[in-house]
Amino acid sequence: QAKNEGRNCFKYFSEALTLAARERIGIEFRLRRAMDNQEFRLFYQPQLKIGSGEIVGVEALIRWQTDSGELIPPLKFIPIAEETGLIAGLGRWVLQEACRQGKAWLDAGLPPLRIAVNLSPTQFMHGDICAIVASTLAETGFPANYLELELTESALMKREKEAIDILNRLHELGVHLAIDDFGTGYSSLAYLKAFPLDVLKIDKSFIDDIPMQNDDMEITATIIAMAKTLRMQVIAEGVETPAQMAFLRSRNCDFYQGYIASKPLPAAEFEIFLHQHKPEPNA
């Protein structure tokens, strides 16, 4: 009886694994084809100054638009791109497209906005990211000081000494550096101090339950205070409600990003948003 159950269990898992593996290979194949067919798009989500409501920048977020028009979110394919090495090419495309768009906006006379681009851990540590960023800036003509690169704690904390070296070289190019999803990884405060980071992004998970969860409010306030001590600018991610805004303002958080202002938008729709946006004092 027990033996039979064990065998059924094995059969069940082996079928499940095969399915997962097949699904993965399927996505990998489709990803390669999607790169050839240029099925990727960048969406842009505004970042605003707390207190004035002024738009100071945008985060570029990748979407996969299949030929049927379906939009596939990044968490469904970025991890697979990471594991298969496809991220190198995809990441270069993201950087290139964000800088191209940024330059086009500057040339069209839009107010200068900083563009934040997410770098995956592999993209950061393998291949010469400094050379890639430098040549992308040169090719597109986008000014380095308007580009911000977002890195996660896990990307930085694996090989800290090497990370410091890469960050310093990126900083020398004039780009801004941000730590994304802060608080979800394990950062050593000693290293955080040693990294030349300009911006700290508080993870959405701490913002979600403000003002219901006292712990989250305490943690958020502490992260803001710590960022100020380290002379970093601080931005809250995933802000959705006026109550969250009020709390962040009371604790002197610098910037916010979230559905309360706008979801990520295609470039053309972001331009309309920018046009119609009226900064509100005390927003």
Residues 25-64 binding Mg ion (CB under 5 A) are none
The item of Mg ion, ligand C2E, none sharing an interface with residue 78, based on CB under 5 to 8 Å by kind, is: ligand C2E
Residue closer to ligand C2E, measured from CB, 80 or 194: 80
Choices 141-149, 156-164, 186-194, 253-261 (CB under 6 A): range interacting with ligand C2E: 253-261
Say how far residue 137 (Cα) sits from the centre of its chain. Answer: 19
- Residue whose C-alpha is closest to residue 204's, from 232, 235, 177: 235
Amino acid in the structure at residue 99: C
* Residues 117, 60 contacting (CB under 8 angstroms): yes
Name the residue nearer to ligand C2E (CB basis): 148 or 237: 237
Look-up: residue for tokens 């090419």? 89
Q: Binding to ligand C2E (CB under 6 A): which residues in 60-119?
A: 61-62, 73-75, 78, 91, 94, 118
Can you count the helices (H) and strands (E) in the chain?
12, 10
From 118, 244, 257, 262, residue interacting with Mg ion (rule: CB under 5 A) = 118
Q: Is 85 helix (H, G, I), strand (E, B) or coil?
A: coil
Interacting residue with Mg ion among 34, 102, 133, 150 (CB under 5 A): 150
**Binding string, residues 137-156; x marks residues near ligand C2E by CB under 6 A:** -------------x------
Partner from Mg ion, ligand C2E, none contacting 271, C-beta within 5 to 8 A by type: none
Q: Kindly state the number of chain residues that form the binding site for ligand C2E, as judged by CB under 6 A.
A: 22
Tell me the C-alpha distance between 270 and 263, whole Å.
10
Nearest to 77 by CA among 27, 21, 41: 27
Q: Report in angstroms how near the CB of residue 226 gets to ligand C2E at its nearest.
A: 19
Contact pick of 10, 12, 13, 259 for ligand C2E (by CB under 6 A): 259
CA distance 75 to 48: 25
Q: Are 154 and 161 in contact (CB under 8 A)?
A: no
Instruction: Decide: residue 73, CB within 10 A, 0-12 exposed, 13-18 middle, 19+ buried.
Output: exposed
- For binding to ligand C2E (CB under 6 A), which residues are involved? 45, 61-62, 73-75, 78, 91, 94, 118, 120, 150, 180-181, 237-240, 257-259, 264
